[in-house]
Structure 1
Amino acid sequence: MAAKKPATYCNPFWTESFPDPFVLKVRGRYYAYATEHETYPPADSWVFPILTSSDLVQWREIGKAMPAFGQPYGRYWAPEVTVHNGQFLLYYAVHTSEFAGSIRVAVADRPEGPFTDSGQDLTSSLFPWAIDPHVFRDQDGQWYLYMTIEYWDDPGGFIGSGNIVDRLIDPFTLQGHPTRVTPPQHQWQLFEAQREARGGVDWYTVEGPAVMRHRGRYYEMFSGGCYYRDNYAVSYATSDTPMGPGGMHDSSWHDWEGAEGQAFLIRSDGTYMISPGHNSLVPGPNNAELYTAYHAWQQDRAARRPCLDRLFWHGDQPWTAAPTHTPQPAPALPRLRELFEEPVLQPCWHQYDGRWSVSNGEVAQEDDTAVRATLQHRDRLSAAWLLEVNLRHITGAGSYGVLIQSDAGTTVSVSITPGSQLAVWSGTSPAEPVQTMPLPAAIEAAAWHQLIISLSGSALSVQFDYLRPLEVLVEHPAHTFSLFTQHCSAAFSGISLTDHFRDEFLNNWQTPALLGWSVEASTESEPGSAPLAHWRVQDGALEQTSAAPGEHIVLKSPLHEQYECGATMMLHRANEQGLPALGLVAW
């Protein structure tokens, strides 16, 4: 019997025009939004095409997002959607003339719309022209709006468009303190020499901000150059803060200098993928992989079509093979994925008390008088895993969440008390929670929210939406998980489970043993020393501290038939008695 070929996909992932693609993940499903193709759509038409997918490979069109205003409005560009308390907020740019444009917000109850313009113009009182809105929400709960405006008098001396940031007081209101992020400052960013429409100056372009946080630093990807010429490409900048204190003279963000003078994250391959850019970022179906969506011209130059490639990390630097045009490994699916698409519970779920029912892609526990109702999944947890659960409160004054159970009956519960807190409880000390986090007052428990729970060794991490994770040590193994309600009714949806760990070593109190690392006795070069005596977590790394000759091998987690492994390594010092080496061992 022939071996089954791994699933693949090929760029572009959609054959029609779909520029400035933004991809949003919602409860296990994906929605992609794009710039409107028609320059001045009439008032009876709709704008912003939408695609949907469950795996980032197979896509289908589901219409357009919102009705057009009609004259004098046109050039509907670069929509991005953010979810807040069950509302879908579509930020977009629209123009009344070529160089008069503003950023507005439209609202919907569903990711596919229909969206209705909120009546809020965020930028006209600050700038005559603003495009390419991007909302970034930091772990402290603060929202930021990145956007592209015109730079006429930047200290760098380049004239053109560039990116700035301002705080959002609420989803519809800017603070009014715009701050410099990435102005045009490199020759490769030339849009047009002696641009007649802008007074004959050499015009440079930086646009399309996309921001993420990685290991405590902030990364802003941007596109530069001319979108229809070969110089259009993607690079990035970094900062210790999402918004510096210096206003339009701020210098907190620093452009990546690149490798060997080539500061391009994504650039034209010269033949198949031309002028790639305006990217967005989205987690893969298993929540462990990260992808970047972008557009590119192909050889026919007929349209900017959407592409997708995986994003990796080389230490503190992002890296991608983009732009690709050959078959690529399809995004990995989680080991378990439950979208509740069938009208009945599947046999893998076991009910304990309560009244559970399935409808409209969710499972709900409807009895708010039940002291405790649980719905346990029969699959076993591995030694390291990543679990996503989306949940919302229905009625009752109790709590709801996720139980992590051992075969011995001990539990760890991750619970949400509406209007109050997120808490982690241990069955070994039930009198009070191990850790708590107050929920922001603006959080509406009746709306869908996301929990991301992961376990690596004894280190449990719990993240509510985009907020700062709770880090907890668990005292017993984890074998199964359940959904639960206590004195309330709640619903659950978009559940996925992936065998996975990512040890970033950012907390020095997380010893190698607590993270599940171990050593083999045969590799211990100093008889009588304690296990892991020469390994420590220090300054964001796992360090081997002994200079003794011989091999020093540290192991992690159980064996898997299929796996992917990566690490960033650096040699501190070498023993003079032999040739130093370091690397990965497939054990």
Structure 2
Amino acid sequence: MKKKTLLLALVLVVISTYGQKKFSGNPLFPGWYADPEGVIFGKTYWIYPTFSAPYEKQVFMDAFSSQDLVHWTKHEKILDTANVKWAKRALWAPAIVKNKNRYFLFFGANDIQNDQETGGIGVAVASQPQGPFKDYLGHPLVDRFHNGAQPIDQFVFKDKDGAYYLIYGGWRHCNIARLKDDFTGFVPFKDGSVFKEITPEKYVEGPVLFIRKGKYYFMWSEGGWTGPDYSVAYAVSDSPLGPFKRIGKVLQQDPGIATGAGHHSVIQVPGKDEWYIIYHRRPLTEKDGNSRETCIEPLYFDAEGLIKPVVLTTTGVPARPLK
């Protein structure tokens, strides 16, 4: 009897050990999701993506959380246009930051084509990362075309001195503006301007900025988002204001795995020189522009600090709990 009990216990241990998912796999979670914003709050990884669908159906956002990059929990409809009176459609490309114990979600809405249309970049606020988020201002934060930049694809960057910047722009133009501490507007630069253009060569949309070893890494998407050649390139500068000279592509399609790899975000394991790139791509079986999945890969740097080309995989990354 003891031998049977011991054998059963051993079998259960083996099943438990080998039944656990040890790699994230790609995509990270089911469903069509794009433009993923990856971030860490406390000991939890979060991803805030665009619900990838026709614009008229893009009226809400979901979020996903994980303790280890492998097992993900879905948080449904953390933001809905029902809570943003001026937003009607094309809710996309979220960016989120925590500021004074509140969570601020920046989003694009309505896909405006000129200064006469209502829409642009908005801000929503919540007391917890899973929301629910409600409109913070009652109107868009940016609702005009400045320097030719369509007010979409917003990214919020916190500099070393604690200052927050909004970096955004479609239509091949990118602006940077310093946010007020309460995110209700902007602080003019010393020359009196509010929106400074920092557009690098071949920029299209999807800006991302982060600091590594004192250098500012600026990344963006190139090409058309519905096509196979969508990709990500980057530049490095000593200032968040640039100048940013394009170095080259680091993320692009692999015809054997997926196409349209782009519009990404970058996360760093706190206190470690350990980085991940979270992005969307299109399965080889899909041709519809909205058929996009959220994926993850490691992000590596060489001895000179240049970003190594990202290798697309179906395995993703191994489990990485935060201590």
Would you call these one fold, judging by a TM-score over 0.5?
A: yes
The yes-or-no answer on 1:322 pairing with 2:320 is: no
Looking at structure 2, the residues matched to 134 and 72 of structure 1 have their Cα atoms a distance apart, in angstroms, of: 19
Tell me which residue corresponds to 1:89.
Answer: 104
Tell me what 1:447 maps to.
none
Higher helix share: 2
* Number of residues of Structure 1 aligned to a counterpart in Structure 2: 288
Secondary structure of the residue aligned to 2:90 is strand
Determine if the alignment matches structure 1 residue 281 to structure 2 residue 287: no
Q: How does 1:408-487 map to 2 (within 5 A)?
A: none
User: How far apart in 1 are the matches of 2:311 and 2:102?
Assistant: 33
Equivalence for 1:16? 31
- How far has the Cα of 1:227 moved from its partner? 0.9
| 2:109 matches 1:124 | no
Q: Deviations over 1:104-160 (max 9, x none)?
A: 10000000000011124222256483101101111111111100144xxxxxxxxxx
Say if 2:179 is the partner of 1:168: yes
Question: What is the aligned counterpart of 1:140 among 161, 179, 202?
Answer: 161
Equivalent in the alignment of 1:243: 241
Is the contact between residue 212 and residue 219 of structure 1 (CA under 8 Å) also seen in structure 2?
A: yes
Shift of 1:81: 0.8
- Residue 107 of structure 1 is aligned with which of 100, 125, 140? 125
1:78 corresponds to which of 93, 110, 123? 93
Q: Which runs of 5+ in 1 are unaligned?
A: 151-160, 187-204, 245-251, 257-262, 335-495, 497-587
How many angstroms does 1:7 deviate by? 2.7
Match of 1:214 in 2: 212
Counterpart of 2:46, as a letter, is Y
What corresponds to 1:40 in structure 2?
A: 56
Partner of 1:385: none
**1:57 maps to which residue?**
70
Identity of aligned residues (%): 26
Partner residue, 1:30: 45
Q: CA deviation at 1:72?
A: 6.9
Letter in 2 for 1:240: D
Bigger relative contact order (CA 8 A; separation at least 6): 2
Distance 1:230 1:125 in 2: 30
Structural mapping, 1:503-522, within 5 Å = none
Contact 2:170–2:204 under 8 Å retained in 1: no
Does residue 225 (structure 1) correspond to residue 223 (structure 2)? The answer is yes
**Aligned residue runs from structure 1 range 160-199, under 5 A:** 161-170=172-181, 171-175=183-187, 177-183=194-200, 185-186=201-202
Tell me the TM-score normalised to structure 2 length. 0.81
Contact 1:164 1:178 in 2 (8 A): yes
Distance 1:23 1:96, change over 3 A: closer
- 1:278 touches 1:295 (CA, 8 Å); kept in 2? yes
1:229-378 equivalences under 5 Å are 229-244=227-242, 252-256=243-247, 263-284=248-269, 287-301=272-286, 303-314=291-302, 315-325=304-314, 327-333=315-321
Give the aligned CA root-mean-square deviation in angstroms.
2.6
**Greater Rg over alpha carbons, structure:** 1
One-letter amino acid matched to 2:308: W
TM-aligned CA deviation for residue 285 of structure 1: 8.0
Structure 2: tracts of 5 or more residues without a match:
1-9, 189-193
Report the structure, 1 or 2, having the larger strand content. Answer: 1
